[in-house]
Structure 1
Amino acid sequence: MTPRATLRLQLHAGFTFDDAASHADYFARLGVSHLYLSPVSAAEPGSRHGYDTVDYGTLNPELGGEAGFNRLVDALRARGLGVIVDIVPNHMGVGGSSNGWWNDVLEWGPASPYARHFDIDWHPPDPALDGKVLLPCLGMPYGDALAAGDITLNADPASGRFFIACPGRRLPVAAATYADILRLTNRADLNALAERFDAAPARDSARLAAAHAALRDHVAAHGPHALDAVLRGADPRVARSRTSLHRLLERQHYRLAWWRTAADELNWRRFFDIATLAAVRVDDDAVFDAVHALPLRLHAAGLVDGIRVDHVDGLADPRAYCRRLHARLAAQRSAPPYVVVEKILAPGESLRADWGVAGTTGYDFMNDVGALLHDPAGAEPLAAHWAAVSGSSRTFAQEALDGKRRVLMRQLAVEHARAARLLHGIARASPATRDVSLIAIRRVLGELAVRLPVYRMYPAPREEPDDADRRVLALAYESACAAIDPADRFALDRVAAWLGLPAARVPRANADALAAAALDRKSVV
């Protein structure tokens, strides 16, 4: 059934599938054809929005799980209504301890099978982060948090595992450090257990499982306080033990940090500037399959009639993604797939026709409706009032440009720096551009970015930019030319050319390398 009119429902533990089903008669009387549901995959416990997915393959138990979802669908079907589900392919929730993929990465680092599910730069410029994930989750600087006892070593006797506890988190401990922990106290029985972990370094090995079993057996035989002596050896309240805890933390595959460090040092892609939402590599075949297993199953079973894709502009290649999703859905049922995307269109911008989707989620329509409620004649007196209150005669466009620049310099500083390093690598690869410095690239790239009149461009590997991208890049380029120091014009022309602007009159040297690098998460987030 093709959607005609929808009603969006925000689901959470206080308004579940069954709660929605109880209002089915009301929904039918409204005249809508479908309910458009907020994300239904398992999210962070207690989530009020559901966009912090922790398990793509499971219907959220807080909403009623599989049984509750089926009851809702049955209630709607009985009244001739259908369901559209919201999916979040760009990012997952990593702000707690419920994300199995993320926890595995924290435990095993680059050796985790999920290490490439996320956009992690395992070899950033900071050597302290080599092979590690920055975790900016502390409410104060690391040293202060350590001294305050906010970071502690704990043990779970039932599983035979140690973990690091800090406010709101329970973090895994690398298997390679278990022997060090057990040797924090010089006891023969614990030293013997340490030797078992020394002999079992490989992930998922039978010897490692046996070592954990031996640790569980030890606790079972000696009682719940069997590991107290070990934990005292890492007690942050005691200076010597605090040093041992710090050394242990330094050997983990993550680096605990103050939350304020995220904007400057984060080495993984996130959702905007939110360091509790980690981006996933849905452009990878295995990740795509894992992320979409549940919605594809529900669609194949006829339980949902359409898909709403959240934050499509966060994906590496939205066009390729949308076409792929459309093809997978089309192979399941005879009716044409119904896919809409959350896409912010700038004035005069159109949704790309080659994406193969039914449209946007309607932000553009809501803007038009909102405009009907505003009298254009009010613009001049409002501007005058603003000038009187603020003491500034600057225009909205000038204020907006400064606002963009502040966001780029503060909230998105690390992303800006990373993009500049990418371009600098391309500059260094050619004798013609090797003198374009990293600092100059950062300056001109920032000026281009803040002047782009649209949400994003859509470059694709081994393809020239389309006319729409060239137009917006040309606008940004011309505006930046008038703003930069003349000494930076050489760098601006090169950057514009690498991004695909013929007007810069510079060969697109290594442009394909840039596009490939932007999609290669081995070295770039």
Structure 2
Amino acid sequence: MIPVPRATYRLQFHKEFGFRHATALAPYLGRLGVSHVYASPYLKARPGSTHGYDITDHHKLNPELGTDDDFAAMVAAFRQNGLGQILDFVPNHMGVGGADNPLWLDVLEWGPDSDHAGWFDIDWDPDRRYLLNKILVPFLGDQYGAELKAGKLVLKYDEEDGSLAIWAYDSHKLPVCPLFYDQILGHDDPGLDRYSDLFSDLPMWRPQVAERARVLKTDLAMLTREIPSSRTALNKRIDALNADWKALDVLIQQQFWRVAFYGVAGDDINYRRFFNINDLAGVRMELPEVFRHAHARIVPMIEDGTLDGIRLDHVDGLLDPKRYFEDLRAATTRPFYLVIEKILAGHEQLREDWPVEGTTGYDFTNLVLGAMVDPSAEAAFTEFYRAFTGLSTPFEQIVRDCKIRIMENEMASELNVLGRDAGRIARQNPMTADFTRNILQRAIKQIVAHFPVYRTYIDMDGSQEAADRRDLDWAIAQARKAEPTLDPSVFAFLHEVLSGDIVAKPQSGFNRIAVLRFAMKLQQYSGPVMAKGLEDTTFYRYNRHVALNEVGGEPHRFGITAQAFHKANAQRARNWPNAMLGTSTHDTKRGEDTRARLAVLSDLPEEWTRQVSTWTRLLRVRQGDLDGSAAPDRNDEYLLYQLLVGSWPVELLERIDEDALHLYGERLAGALEKSMREAKLHSSWTAPDQDYESAMQDFASAALDPSRGAFLASFLPFAQRVARLGVQNSLFQTALKLTLPGMPDIYQGSEMWDLSLVDPDNRRPVDYARREAALDALHARLDNMEGRATLIRDLLEDWQDGRIKLAVTHLLLRLRAEKPGLFAEGSYDPLTIEGTRAERAIGFSRAEGEDRLIVLAARYPGVRDADPDWDGTSAELPPGRWRDLLTGRTTEGGAAALSTLFEILPVAVLQPAG
């Protein structure tokens, strides 16, 4: 039986938060009520990693987090406090560059002859012939020649193991192949002369060249330690090479790597990356040897019960995700919980034949957000956004334009390879031999740009689901319209290739393996293009309502109906009852309570319009920019106002503390910098526009300047109102996450207010001491059912300290512990709500055996604040007497007035009163 968690708590491990810190937290997490810690990756990663996804050794724990003993103590503390463990694991890529990944260094040293040459997804035979049997290493901050001449590339000798390597900036190790050691050792010193000859003899030791080289390097190290004159002679040889950049260049050109300026990667990279990140290299997890190596540590941890589950990162990067999931299941004898990071389009369903428990919850994040956003405000928001910014390009067109920009720049090399491979396939048959690489590449670019999902999933058997065929058909039909100058037969050919139809029958004239591998490679490409084009570009350009610009979201969809909300939950209850439900993660663009506040704006469209119109006058006029044409542009300005309203610190709502304001200003500046560079309009990571960025930051600083009090005097009253109303949305979101079908996850610290901005802001240290103290103080008082209503009223009155959210979270986690069957297997049915204000609430019931639960939650707090009358609207409760878990108050079955149910809180969690 799979050990499904009741609820998880995500911890972000890094150098400043290691195993000992987690050990100390175990009692608090146990008292809070979660059943499992959901840990960020903690296998060995590159030094200084803040996230752990840049793994360098699958067999070791990250030493920056603690020792093996520290880890064992943490596991023991978890068990003592009733906590299991879920581990975030990345199967798609490893961290490269630096000097920390022995597998990568071996490939750099030996090229195609390395034992691990096939482990990484490297194209050893690229069209760029200067890279034949070489790996491009694009880690230089300037042009290769400039850095070489400036002495930034230095030959060094490792006296411990007798190896030689070029070091870039003293941080990136580029091993010299031992086949060329003789050129460095020379013949001036007797000892070095002997080893020079021995190294020059290495080709005679094939296929044991690498093994022989390791022996020789060990012997060389011994020689240079024991005979000082030999070490001195070697130092002179190395110094001479480092002093002559032309001679050093000759040595570098002979290696199996080509070090280059990082900007070269977009055009010439010849290894698959994680998106467009050069120092994260894709690994071929479909190879059994690679799979066994990568799981040698975590499989035993599953078997011995250290781990109850795995969260898989970026599964769309895998060549064949389904096969990988099956291999992972087969690798263990003990069942385990398995969820995957998979972004689903609005019309897309998770594949029911995948042996997983569900996704990591981005679909839920956007579902519950949609339930908080009032669809009736869409027209007003759209009209004002267009009027204020002057932008009217449809969202879908922005997405396509951004995807094309990514394919023409950061990921152009991968597109070139797909065009080349498509051309090779076309030339296998006379009927398609005239399709040139350029024509095919143009068609491929349009097909990928129009893909409505991240990827499809054809496999080496050529099998493809109807959903894949539907999405492929749509993409190709749209691509044809976008490229009318291309012969339609090109798209017909690619359709047959990508669907596998072209090799469905024998004697097609095409190589079946080549066709299917090409189709699968394109699938691996379309996902990163979607991610970079949508999440990391479009979401920073389209600022109509930035709460909707969330991972897995569709910002052009403005809110959802109660019917759509219930349909999605019923589908999850039926198909994926154990899927993870998340509202904040390490990757969300904004914290859950920031989004909850921003959702309030849809309740106040007219007031929001008036406020923004006032703020822009106050700030622009002071700068002498009467027509609003100076930098920053109106779109970035509009983003700034939304970020301020959504993330304004609670401690700054009532009074301005200059130290706290300064800290917030630094956080805001970081978010704005990322937004400008990710948008790639006025600035970018590769070519920052300092003038524009300074104008944006100066504009934001002026808004935060207490000495220029006009803006803050206008802003604060509105921010206070939105923050107060946002509390209701936050409780709505929290209650639903903890009661709907699925397994809820709490991101570190978000049991109290999470008003974070985009990463790294959302990975700031958490004040656990305050949370522990608050829970300890609340624990006994919450046990008193008779006094619970008064307590909840008081906590809501003092909402600023976050204890109201902590109390609701704790009570519902306790309920999940008391009724595990109800939440793991309970039915889901919408609750009937009748009356003229029915759209302002959502309700549902859950039942399993004798256990029953009814949950009601009020929507649109801004609308209700302006018009608090429920006008007789009621929820139809089953017969009997019901007690609200959160307030202790009781109500009778039948038509229950929402005005009474929501008198204290905007949520009610009802159980039979007994």
TM-score (structure 2 length as normaliser): 0.54
Residue 89 in 1 paired to residue 88 in 2? no
CA 1:189–1:475 in 2, change beyond 3 Å: closer, same or farther? same
What residue number does 2:878 align with? Answer: none
Cα distance change, pair 502–228 in 1 and its aligned pair in 2 (3 A): closer
- Distance change in 2, residues 1:207/1:294 (3 Å): closer
Code of the aligned partner of 2:219:
A
Note the alpha carbon deviations across 1:157-209, whole angstroms, 9 max, x for none: 232222111122122110011001122x8555543331121123442445762
CA contact (8 A) 1:326 1:339 kept: no
Distance 1:516 1:244 in 2: 46
1:395 is aligned to 2:394:
yes
- Give the SS at the match of 2:298: helix
The alignment status of 1:287 with 2:290, answered yes or no, reads yes
Q: 1:501: Cα distance to partner?
A: 7.9
In the other structure, the counterpart of 2:73 is: 71
Runs (4+) of structure 1 exceeding 6 A deviation are 506-509
Shift of 1:280: 0.5
CA contact (8 A) 1:197 1:208 kept: no
Letter in 1 for 2:313: D
Answer yes or no: is the 8 Å Cα contact 1:498–1:511 preserved in 2.
no
Q: Say whether 1:165 aligns with 2:171.
A: no
1:261 correspondence with 2:264: yes
The alignment status of 1:227 with 2:234, answered yes or no, reads yes
C-alpha deviation, 1:502, in angstroms: 7.0
Deviation for aligned residue 1:405: 1.1
Whether 1:175 and 2:182 are equivalent positions in the alignment is: no
Structure 1 residues 71 and 187: alpha-carbon distance in aligned structure 2, compared to 1, 3 A threshold: closer
- Check the 8 A contact 2:497/2:516 in 1, yes or no: no
Q: Secondary structure at the residue paired with 1:293?
A: coil
Seen in structure 2, the aligned counterparts of structure 1 residues 207 and 160 have a Cα distance that, compared at 3 Å, is closer
1:162-241 to structure 2, matched below 5 A, reads 162-167=164-169, 168-183=171-186, 186=188, 190-201=192-203, 202=205, 203-206=209-212, 209-210=215-216, 212-214=218-220, 216-222=222-228, 225-236=232-243, 241=244
Counterpart position of 1:510: 510
3-state SS of the aligned residue for 2:139?
strand
Separation in 1, partners of 2:57, 2:393: 48
In 2, Cα distance between equivalents of 1:412 and 1:200: 39
Unaligned runs of 5+ in 2: 526-914
Choose between structure 1 and 2 for higher RCO, CA contacts under 8 A separated by at least 6 residues. Answer: 1
Q: Within 5 A, what are the aligned runs for 1:39-188?
A: 39-167=41-169, 168-183=171-186, 186=188
Q: Secondary structure of 1:275's partner? A: strand
Superimposed CA distance per residue, residues 244-289 of structure 1 (whole angstroms, 9 cap, x where no aligned partner)? 1000001111000000011100111010000000010100000001
Give the corresponding residue for 1:38. Answer: 40
Partners of 2:389 and 2:226 lie apart in 1 by 69
Aligned to 1:408: 407
1:101-148 CA-partner distances (Å, limit 9, x unpaired) = 001111111111111110011111112111111000100011111111
* Comparing 155-164 and 511-520, the one that deviates more: 511-520
Q: What SS class does the counterpart of residue 322 from structure 1 fall into?
A: helix
In 1: Cα distance, 2:213 partner to 2:293 partner: 29
Q: Secondary structure at the match of 1:86?
A: strand
1:492 deviates by 1.1
User: How far apart are the structure 1 equivalents of 2:175 and 2:367?
Assistant: 49
Offset of residue 406 of structure 1: 0.7
- 1:443 maps to what in 2? 442
Answer yes or no: is the 8 Å Cα contact 2:181–2:196 preserved in 1. Answer: yes
Q: Could you tell me how far 1:351 is from its partner in structure 2?
A: 0.8
Of stretches 221-230 and 422-431 in structure 1, the one that deviates more from structure 2 is: 221-230
Q: How many angstroms apart in 2 are the aligned matches of 1:208 and 1:198?
A: 14
- Greater mean alpha carbon deviation, residues 22-31 or residues 61-70: 61-70
Is 2:363 aligned against 1:361?
no
Cα drift, residue 369 of structure 1: 1.9
Aligned match of 1:313 in 295, 313, 316? Answer: 316
Deviation at 1:211, TM superposition (A): 5.7
Structure 1 distance, partners of 2:149, 2:237, is: 19
Give TM-score scaled by structure 1 length: 0.92
Please name the residue that 1:296 is paired with.
Answer: 299
Deviates more, 1:247-256 or 1:419-428: 419-428
445 and 470 in structure 1: CA distance in 2 versus 1, 3 angstrom threshold = same
| 3-state DSSP of counterpart to 2:174 | strand
| Aligned counterpart, 2:849 | none
Range moving further from structure 2, 36-45 or 457-466: 457-466
Point out the structure with max Rg over C-alpha. 2
Q: Alignment length, in residue pairs? A: 513
3-state secondary structure, aligned to 2:202: coil
The root-mean-square deviation of aligned C-alpha atoms, in Å, is: 2.4
Partner of 2:819: none
Cα contact 1:123–1:130 (8 A) shared by 2 = yes
Please state how far the C-alpha of 1:443 moved relative to its aligned partner: 0.8
For 2:227, give the aligned amino acid: A
